[in-house]
Amino acid sequence: MRDELQEELKKHFPKLIDEKTQIAIGDGWFDLITCLLQTLMITPDKPRLDDISTKFGRLRVTSFSGVSDAAHGAIAMSEMMSRYICSVCGNKTDINHTDHRSRCLAHSDQAR
């Protein structure tokens, strides 16, 4: 994810992510991760996230300190939804799941 998008997330959600949070996802999931962070802000624990990455083509969100059931549900849903959103551009149609990536047809040939 571009630096300016990461900085925007850190600015708007300082309780959830900070300079130590590793963010390694495509720009196409910016809206998805923003919705997740907005949802986590209304959970009782507002968990600090350690890692936001991709595993087998899906979003993977980790908090080493553990999360409440409510936060876990929000994270699980965003991870599931990531399969249906191109990680490069955010397109939600014609998603190709080959090579453990979630990409639309226009971006399925790109290395990253």
Complex with Zn ion: residue 39 or 108, whichever CB lies closer: 108
Structure-block tokens of residue 86 = 């191109």
Q: What distance in Å separates the CA atoms of residue 86 and residue 101, rounded to the nearest whole number?
A: 9
Total interface residues for Zn ion by CB under 5 A: 6
Closest separation between CB of residue 92 and Zn ion, Å?
A: 9
Complex with Zn ion: residue 49 or 88, whichever CB lies closer: 88
Give the C-alpha distances (Å, rounded to integers) separating 58 from 1, 7, 25, 26.
15, 22, 10, 11
User: For the window 20-59, what string marks contact with Zn ion as x by the rule CB under 5 A?
Assistant: ----------------------------------------
Q: Report the site for Zn ion in 70-109 (rule: CB under 5 A).
A: 86, 88-89, 91, 104, 107
The three-state secondary structure class of 12 is: helix
Give the list of residues 6+ apart from residue 49 with CB closer than 8 angstroms, or none: 16, 17, 21, 40, 61, 62, 63
Closest separation between CB of residue 30 and Zn ion, Å?
A: 13
> In the complex, which residues of this chain contact Zn ion (CB under 5 A)?
86, 88-89, 91, 104, 107
